[in-house]
Chains A and B, each alone.
Chain A
């Protein structure tokens, strides 16, 4: 049987969900035998592949790069998992929404709170422009499974991946599996 093609994607998050993934420790060896990791911050793949079975998407949609990436991920992925609170609710990444638009956020960060030379970086094509509003993944593209938590515990991640490896749809319930935060 062909191995499951697994991708992990890092959008507007702190990478804590990916760190929690690494906390799977020795089970990662078992996982490595059962999946092909085809795209991830843990490996050097430049392009998101055309056919991916399962993608764990960490982070909210906060800038134009995230916006393009999440559409590409959705187009090429069978089963998309919103991985962690930023992907599910916006979480800390979305706290900047209180400041209103992207311009308001940049002004606050680079002008109002600047100690030295206050100026908004204007060089094009270096840092992707911020979206006005940080969005949870499911408000941009359809999501197949929500895996909340900041970060989701390794046991929760394992529970989901084990079910998918057995061809089952994971059913999350109770404090151990669906709690935010």
Chain B
């Protein structure tokens, strides 16, 4: 694979030709905020938090799905980008019912971490307070749609790592929601293997272990990364 040379935040770096801007930046210690991105599963480019500026283009591009190119000049921390990133996080808070103080993932939440990173001390947009449901029909887990940010991580881990494809997306726009099987209660979804990968993949408190109280729900991403890496390297195939 040919090596590409590019500049990210005035830092000259080399990257493999098949790498994305996000991967190349991370390898050089440059932090770009993400939310829908999850190590070990396919790229989605839905949350737009990793938007960056590429010289020569007036459009902002998502660093997670944009491949590096020779001579590319990328800016990741401009005033314009910070403005939009903060706006995205504030809009996520305004759209759902994210009440941190009564959330199982309080202190262990990527949305909360992003808000802190962006210095969000209040939300400028009108809270929508949508009427969303909570499904605790599953004996081990629950899904609280009030806290879902539609990152689709649960859908991707379930399909790509577990191979069950219990999760999917239904509805459009503000009515979008994740569903199990063909919109059946999770407890009745026959394809679910109760592996808990979706629980570990969820960035917020939307998917949780039943019985977890406020701030108890921790996510173990390393479990997902371990399986995905082992599969890529075919570590479990007898040689």
Task: Tell me if chain B binds chain A.
Answer: yes
| Interface set of A (CB-CB < 8 Å, partner B) | 82, 85, 88-92, 94-95, 97-98, 136, 138-139, 143, 146, 148, 150, 172-175, 178-181
Shortest CB-to-CB span from A100 to chain B, Å, is 8
Contact B127–A94 (Cβ < 8 Å):
yes
Q: A90-B127, A97-B129, A139-B126 are in contact. Are A85 and B101 (CB under 8 A)?
A: yes
Contact B122–A150 (Cβ < 8 Å):
no
Contact A88–B122 (Cβ < 8 Å):
yes
Q: Give CA–CA (A172, B97) in the complex, Å.
A: 24
As a 0/1 sequence over residues 36 to 51 of chain B, the CB contacts with chain A under 8 angstroms (1 = contact) are 0000000000000000
**With A146-B122, A181-B215 given, can you name 8 additional A-B contacts, CB distance below 8 Å?**
A89-B93, A89-B122, A97-B129, A98-B130, A98-B132, A138-B122, A181-B99, A181-B100
Partner of A146, one of B99, B101, B121: B121
Contact A180–B131 (Cβ < 8 Å):
no
Which A residues are CB-close (under 8 A) to B93? 89
Which A residues are CB-close (under 8 A) to B115? 178-180
Shortest CB-to-CB span from B97 to chain A, Å, is 7
Q: A92-B99, A150-B101 are in contact. Are A172 and B122 (CB under 8 A)?
A: no
Q: Give CA–CA (A175, B107) in the complex, Å.
A: 9
Interface size class of B (residues with CB under 8 A): 20 to 34
Partner of B121, one of A98, A139, A175, A178: A178
Contact A82–B100 (Cβ < 8 Å):
no
CB-based nearest A residue for B101: A150
Contact B120–A178 (Cβ < 8 Å):
yes
Contact B127–A178 (Cβ < 8 Å):
no
Interface residues of B in 140-173 (CB under 8 A from A): none
Partner of B101, one of A82, A139, A181: A181
Which B residues are CB-close (under 8 A) to A178? 115-116, 119-121
Asked if B112 is at the interface (CB within 8 A of a chain A CB), the reply is yes
Contact A94–B126 (Cβ < 8 Å):
no
Q: Give CA–CA (A3, B19) in the complex, Å.
A: 61
Which B residues are CB-close (under 8 A) to A181? 99-101, 103, 106-107, 112, 215
Contact B122–A82 (Cβ < 8 Å):
yes
Contact A175–B116 (Cβ < 8 Å):
yes
Which A residues are CB-close (under 8 A) to B73? none
Which B residues are CB-close (under 8 A) to A85? 100-101
Shortest CB-to-CB span from A149 to chain B, Å, is 9
Which B residues are CB-close (under 8 A) to A95? 97, 99
Partner of A91, one of B101, B119, B126, B129: B101
Which B residues are CB-close (under 8 A) to A138? 122
Of B101, B102, B107, B132, most A-chain CB atoms within 10 Å: B101
Which A residues are CB-close (under 8 A) to B61? none
Contact A88–B121 (Cβ < 8 Å):
yes
Which A residues are CB-close (under 8 A) to B30? none
Which B residues are CB-close (under 8 A) to A173? 119
Q: Give CA–CA (A148, B132) in the complex, Å.
A: 25
Q: A148-B121, A180-B115 are in contact. Are A98 and B101 (CB under 8 A)?
A: no
Which A residues are CB-close (under 8 A) to B81? none
Which A residues are CB-close (under 8 A) to B116? 174-175, 178-179
Shortest CB-to-CB span from A179 to chain B, Å, is 6
Shortest CB-to-CB span from B174 to chain A, Å, is 14
22 pairs of residues in contact across A and B, judged by CB atoms under 8 Å: A85-B100, A85-B101, A88-B122, A89-B127, A91-B99, A92-B101, A97-B127, A97-B129, A98-B129, A98-B131, A136-B123, A136-B127, A143-B122, A150-B100, A172-B121, A175-B116, A178-B120, A179-B112, A180-B101, A180-B115, A181-B101, A181-B215
